[in-house]
Amino acid sequence: MRVSKMLLNTLREVPAEAESVSHQLMLRAGLIRKLAAGIYSYLPLGLRVLRKVEQIVREEMDEAGAQELLMSALLPAEAYQASGRWEVFGADMFRLKDRGDRDFCLGPTHEEIFTETVLATVKSYKQLPMTLYQIQNKYRDERRPRFGVMRSREFVMKDAYSFDRDNAGLDVSYEKMYHAYCKAFSRMGLDFIVVDADSGAMGGSGSQEFMVKSDTGEDTIAYCPACGYAANEEKAPCAPESMPEEEKRALSKIHTPGVRTIEELVAFLHTDSKRFVKTLLYQADDQLVAALVRGDREVNEVKLANHLGARELTLAEGAQVTAATGAAVGFAGPIGLKIPVIMDLEVAQMTNFIVGANETDYHYQDVNTSDFEAAATIDLRTIVAGDPCPKCGLPVTTTQGIEVGHIFKLGTKYTDALGCTFLDENGKAQSMIMGCYGIGVSRAMAAVIEQYSDDKGICWPVAVAPYQVIVVPVSMREPAQVALAEKIYEDLRQQGIEVLLDDRNERVGVKFTDAELIGIPVRIAVGRQAAEDVVEYRLRTDTDNTMLSSADAVARAVAFVQEGLKAGR
């Protein structure tokens, strides 16, 4: 491709709206263009990368025995109504009506539609197992679209679904996907870890997420450097920290005027936050509940929602808190509270602690769990760095991660709901056992940039680079330079290399800056020594040029590209 003919619109300035490195670089390199919040067009360079990421995923899915198909993104409501997710998705689902007033949505994920398809086409155990997939746009009206295509409202997902006759079969299908994911992400050059993930309130027997370590990641991962255990913090079990035993004292009320937060209490009472128990009120679907954790801990909302089987869980509003406690916000406590109290395991072991008194400006001290009634005592807090590893007990570390893939043993949730059965050897109808497997294709593309960039721009790994080599004539006014650049360009094309020729009438500085920004892995610059057939060869990650004959430069570029394409396979 000749750069002079290309739709290329690089920006020198960092766009103000872009918070993450990948979002900034995708805009600056002209890979994407924003249409609305969380909605982007892929410009030619960006589309080439997206297609490569897709193709890697496709090849690994095919290799694992999955079959590709393509469904509509515009979906009738019925199957989602049957599974209950027409309600569960709530405002996240883009909904619309046709001219006959029938309900439709833009597919946020396709479990129901795959189940329907298999139900209509697969009848016998002889046809199982079967894994189907598609690579397609998904639509979710995210509460907070951000980081460009990382969390967008239209995004490309590879979604696969396996159908098995029993759990042993599901384990095999799941294992195949696990390995296909590892290969696909390795081929993209991603440094990832696989973590145990939450399976949600709706059950399922296991799930793992593929996380790319990055500061911009919205997920927190707890991992153990000693034994390799890794889990999403939503999921990681927490052991209670043992506290010194004390003789239980009788509770008493203390006057704490205007002292609402744990920090204020610590200062006011000159004590440690570990002496307090926080009482947080949550609206869980249509009930109000109180959650208790030690003063220095955080409530894990996923664990709480799972325990309650709640679809929606939000912190209660100030007015609700006042109505339930009879006190201003900041003075809630479990004693005398009329709503269900869910207590963390750690709280159950504490003695003589401090809580709000459900009376403005008052707290109780020397509280013990016998002073109130808890509806349940569960693991309710979020793991933090230094907590004991759930597997080996040594301290865990935490890091931020970008979830690029998710694999999930679903079981029979959808096949039961929609009646997707097969006939076994005895002619008996049985529900198929499902697994589902997603890859955020567009998010993975952004994740690659998060891991492969420097202060000048993107440094694409060869396997996903939009072009592999760029040939830059230093001056378009020098016929010798232009002729040699053209020859190198042709030679590389002949050898199947994806190559750009920067034939623009621009200063060489501009050309080099653009080549660095868009991240082409190999640059061959043809300058003053063109007449002697000497060119400058340089990798995007190098700091120096190597002077080579044009033939050597071509040979080196070809070898480098071939090596890069093999990497991770």
Residues 324/338, Cβ–Cβ less than 8 Å: yes
Question: Which one of 164, 344, 403, 450 is in contact with ligand ATP (CB under 6 A)?
Answer: 403
CB-wise, 141 or 424, nearer to ligand ATP?
Answer: 141
What size, in residues, is the chain?
569
Residues 291/379, Cβ–Cβ less than 8 Å: no
Is residue 207 close enough to count as binding ligand ATP by CB under 6 A? no
For residues 324 and 457, what is the distance between their CA atoms, to the nearest angstrom? Answer: 54
The residue range among 152-160, 285-293, 483-491, 522-530 that interacts with ligand ATP, by the rule CB under 6 A, is 152-160
Is residue 453 close enough to count as binding ligand ATP by CB under 6 A? no
Is residue 187 close enough to count as binding ligand ATP by CB under 6 A? no
Is residue 133 close enough to count as binding ligand ATP by CB under 6 A? no
Residue 514 half-sphere exposure, CB side, CA atoms within 13 Å? Answer: 24
Is residue 157 close enough to count as binding ligand ATP by CB under 6 A? yes
The residue range among 320-328, 437-445, 492-500, 520-528 that interacts with ligand ATP, by the rule CB under 6 A, is 437-445
To ligand ATP, the closest distance from the beta carbon of 467 in angstroms equals 25
CB-wise, 110 or 540, nearer to ligand ATP?
Answer: 110
For residue 62, give the DSSP letter.
H
CB-wise, 316 or 410, nearer to ligand ATP?
Answer: 410
CB-wise, 142 or 486, nearer to ligand ATP?
Answer: 142
Is residue 301 close enough to count as binding ligand ATP by CB under 6 A? no
To ligand ATP, the closest distance from the beta carbon of 158 in angstroms equals 8
Amino acid at 263: E
To ligand ATP, the closest distance from the beta carbon of 142 in angstroms equals 5
For residues 499 and 318, what is the distance between their CA atoms, to the nearest angstrom? Answer: 61
Is residue 405 close enough to count as binding ligand ATP by CB under 6 A? yes
To ligand ATP, the closest distance from the beta carbon of 150 in angstroms equals 6
Is residue 298 close enough to count as binding ligand ATP by CB under 6 A? no
Label residue 226 exposed, middle or buried (CB < 10 Å: 0-12, 13-18, 19+).
middle
Binding to ligand ATP (CB under 6 A) within 72-131 occurs at 109
Binding string, residues 354-393; x marks residues near ligand ATP by CB under 6 A: ----------------------------------------
Question: Which one of 20, 83, 131, 152 is in contact with ligand ATP (CB under 6 A)?
Answer: 152
Binding to ligand ATP (CB under 6 A) within 326-345 occurs at none
Q: What share of the chain is helix, strand, coil (3-state, %, to 5)?
A: 35, 30, 40
Handedness of CA 149, 154, 157, 161 (dihedral sign): positive
Distances (CA, A) of 269 to 12, 266, 276, 317: 54, 5, 11, 27
For residue 435, how many other CB atoms are within 10 A of its CB?
A: 28
Which residues, 6+ apart, have CB-to-CB distance to 210 below 8 Å?
Answer: 181, 185, 192, 193, 194, 403, 404, 405, 406, 407, 439
Question: Which one of 59, 103, 142, 298 is in contact with ligand ATP (CB under 6 A)?
Answer: 142
Residues 238/383, Cβ–Cβ less than 8 Å: yes
For residues 370 and 392, what is the distance between their CA atoms, to the nearest angstrom? Answer: 33
To ligand ATP, the closest distance from the beta carbon of 145 in angstroms equals 7
- Measure CA 311 to chain center: 20
Dmax over CA atoms of the chain, in Å, equals: 95
Is residue 443 close enough to count as binding ligand ATP by CB under 6 A? yes
CB-wise, 141 or 486, nearer to ligand ATP?
Answer: 141
Binding residues with ligand ATP: total (CB under 6 A): 15
> H or E stretch including 157?
strand 154-164
CB-wise, 413 or 504, nearer to ligand ATP?
Answer: 413
Is residue 401 close enough to count as binding ligand ATP by CB under 6 A? no
Contact positions vs ligand ATP (CB under 6 A): 109, 140, 142, 151-152, 155, 157, 403-406, 438, 440, 442-443
